[in-house]
Amino acid sequence: MRVLESFSVGGMVLSDAACAARIDDWLRQWHAWCRRDPYANGYYGVSPGCIHARTSRQYDDFNGNLDVHIDAVEMEAADAIVNAMADPWRTALSVQARNLYTGSMVWSSPRLPACPMERQLVLGQARKKFQEALIRAGIF
């Protein structure tokens, strides 16, 4: 099934396979970001009195904090894009993201069409909408 087209990103033309791989990577990262868990072994990771404190960013490029912040901003944008979609496309992307994150195609949803061909069509449309929204946001 062909849903993605070649296009130029920063002067570089991406093929269908490269576009599909980037969408897969975005969905995998988005699912991992959405399921972030602040708790470890039953304890919250930050003191309640310091939860809103932020360190100075002057020297944070050495420990990767700026990269973490940029990734978080991009994932917030991806989250907003997915949440703005109507069903069944939002559900199709959520299920696809979970399957990509776990590495197995076992997750499904009763909200998606029962016919596998129709499910693939809905997923293709959802991925195309997601890609177009990421391009409009300037983060693809």
Structure confidence by residue, pLDDT tens digits, 48-80: 677 677 666 666 566 667 777 788 899 999 999
Q: Which residues 6+ apart lie within 8 Å of 15 measured at CB?
A: 6
73: exposed, middle or buried (Cβ count in 10 Å: 0-12, 13-18, 19+): exposed
pLDDT over 50 (residue 95): yes
How far apart are the C-alpha atoms of 139 and 123, rounded to whole Å?
21
What b/e readout covers 77-106, taking b as 16+ CB neighbours within 10 angstroms? bbeebbeebeebbbbbbbbbbbbbbeeeee
pLDDT over 70 (residue 6): no
Q: Is residue 87 part of a domain?
A: yes
Q: How many domains does the chain have?
A: 1
Q: Is residue 88 part of a domain?
A: yes
* Domain containing residue 115: 15-35+54-137
Q: Is residue 40 part of a domain?
A: no
Q: Is residue 48 part of a domain?
A: no
pTM value is 0.74
Q: How confident is the model at residue 2 (pLDDT cuts 50, 70, 90)?
A: very low
How far apart are the C-alpha atoms of 80 and 1, rounded to whole Å?
27
Q: Is residue 108 part of a domain?
A: yes
pLDDT digits (tens, 9 = 90+) for 104-113: 888 889 899 9
Average pLDDT over residues 126-137: 94
DSSP state of 49: G
Q: Is residue 1 part of a domain?
A: no
Q: Is residue 6 part of a domain?
A: no
Q: Is residue 41 part of a domain?
A: no
pLDDT over 70 (residue 8): no
